Amino acid sequence: MCEGGARKEEAQTRLVTVKSKILGKNDEIAECNRNWLKERGVLAMNLISSPGSGKTMLLERTLEALDGKLKCAVIAGDQRTDNDAKRLEGKGAAVVQIETVSSCHLDASQVHDMLPEVVTEGTKLLFIENVGNLVCPSSFDLGESFKVALLSTTEGEDKPAKYPSLFSRASVVLLTKMDLVEHLDWDLDACLASLRSIRPDASVFQVSARTGQGMESWLDFLLEQSA
Amino acid sequence: MHELSIAQSLVEELDAITIREGALRVNSFRLDIGAISGVEQHALEMALPFAAEGSNAEGATFDINIVVTRVKCKGCGNSWEPETFIGRCRSCDSNDIAIVAGREMVLVSVELET
Ligand SMILES: Nc1nc2c(ncn2[C@@H]2O[C@H](COP(=O)(O)OP(=O)(O)OP(=O)(O)O)[C@@H](O)[C@H]2O)c(=O)[nH]1
Ligand SMILES: [Mg+2]
Ligand SMILES: [Zn+2]
């Protein structure tokens, strides 16, 4: 900044040390959500991926499979439309949509406002489908039990190394659209190596919501985690 | 562009500090931003003046300190600064690695005009 020569007039200044987290308010609300969910014994997952990696389709198949077995709830976030919520309705789970309008991520207060409506008595699993975006949602804690990153086979192998802010935080990773692998030059080992380099202890599931491949292990994992 | 929401949260905090300290306005402030915080320095630099318009931080200058990623092995305590890859521990091969720095988004200090 150009100071323009002359000293500023006698203005008094004072330096204050703050050291506060910029998203401290969001983190506080997230913590409140986390406690609220914990008290009710609800396992909450924050699903994050690029647009179109298959979050909604995975949830469609997951809700259908768990219908009558485990009570589920869904919060779906998109910038516009309630298309995703409509796709998820009628599968035995309570579903609400949050339209974030100009925002590229869900934040803790949006989730906070929806929780009492969508998480009713007896709910065991809450899926939060975040806005399709690999970067922004990773900075905002929603109060989830853990983050689930989805990476579709059409996106290439090296996304984890390119987007460490998400992949270093996601303890569970789903490689989606595995049915397409035969049409691609996608290399599973390279993808896993990229992932391990960022998050060596991630639980990885290889699934196709389209063919049902790998869905069993994902569902077993959910049943086991919610127990 | 979540840098704008981050800038807005920051400006709210700066406003609150100005009021709490009975100051007139914010002259300057310092931030620590982690290398893998998901915040892009340039985007944040663009978003801040925009978010600060009409607030006590309008026209304030700022310094952004990028904090390098540092990890620590939970097995043997070995600590290092990975370039991009975190990977396994180089001394004991454990995969139980904690990220100890690199995710910061911190307002470190504020210079207020009183
Ligand atoms: N071949 C194949 N296509 C899939 C699979 N899962 C999803 N798709 C297709 O990929 C497209 C996007 O899927 P969605 O489930 O809407 O993806 P999304 O991540 O919810 O998208 P956004 O909410 O817009 O970010 C749709 O055309 C799906 O039919 C899969 O396992 N195999
Ligand atoms: Mg969707
Ligand atoms: Zn070690």
| Residue B11 within any structural domain of the chain | yes
| Residue B114 within any structural domain of the chain | no
| Residue B14 within any structural domain of the chain | yes
A10 CA to centre of ligand 1 in angstroms: 62
What pLDDT does A11 receive? 76
Q: Which residues surround ligand 3, an ion (CB under 5 A)?
A: B 73, 75-76, 78, 89, 91-92, 94
Domain locations along chain A? 2-226
pLDDT along chain A (227 residues), means of 10: 51 92 94 98 98 98 97 95 94 95 91 97 98 93 98 96 93 98 96 93 97 98 94
What is the DSSP-derived secondary structure letter of residue B112? Answer: E
Whether chain B has a CB inside 8 Å of the CB on A201: the answer is yes
What pLDDT does A5 receive? 47
Q: What is the share, in percent, of chain B residues with pLDDT greater than 70?
A: 98
Query: What residues 203-222 of chain A have any CB closer than 8 A to a CB of chain B?
Result: none
CB B109 within 8 Å of CB A8: no
ipTM for this model: 0.84
- CA–CA gap between residue A76 and residue A197 (Å, rounded): 30
What pLDDT does A9 receive? 57
Query: B71 is in which domain, residue-wise?
Result: 2-109
How many domains are contained in chain B? Answer: 1
Digit-coded pLDDT (tens) for B28-73: 999 999 999 989 999 999 999 999 999 999 999 999 999 999 999 9
Contact A103/B27, CB-based, under 8 Å?
no
- Distant-in-sequence contacts of B72-81, Cβ < 8 A, 24+ apart: B72/B97, B72/B98, B72/B100, B73/B97, B73/B98, B74/B98
| Residue B36 within any structural domain of the chain | yes
Domain at A2-226, CATH from 3.60.15.10, 3.40.50.300, 3.20.20.140, 3.50.50.60: 3.40.50.300
- Dihedral of CA B32/B37/B42/B45: which sign? negative
Query: What residues 67-96 of chain B have any CB closer than 8 A to a CB of chain A?
Result: 84-88, 95-96
Report the CATH number that the domain containing residue B39 is assigned in CATH.
Answer: 3.30.2320.80
| Residue B82 within any structural domain of the chain | yes
Mean pLDDT of chain B: 94
What pLDDT does B1 receive? 61
CA distances from B21 to B57, B58, B60 (A): 14, 17, 17
Distance from CA of B76 to the nearest CA of A (A): 16
| Residue B71 within any structural domain of the chain | yes
| Residue B47 within any structural domain of the chain | yes
What pLDDT does A138 receive? 93
Chain A residue numbers touching B103 (CB-CB < 8 A): 165
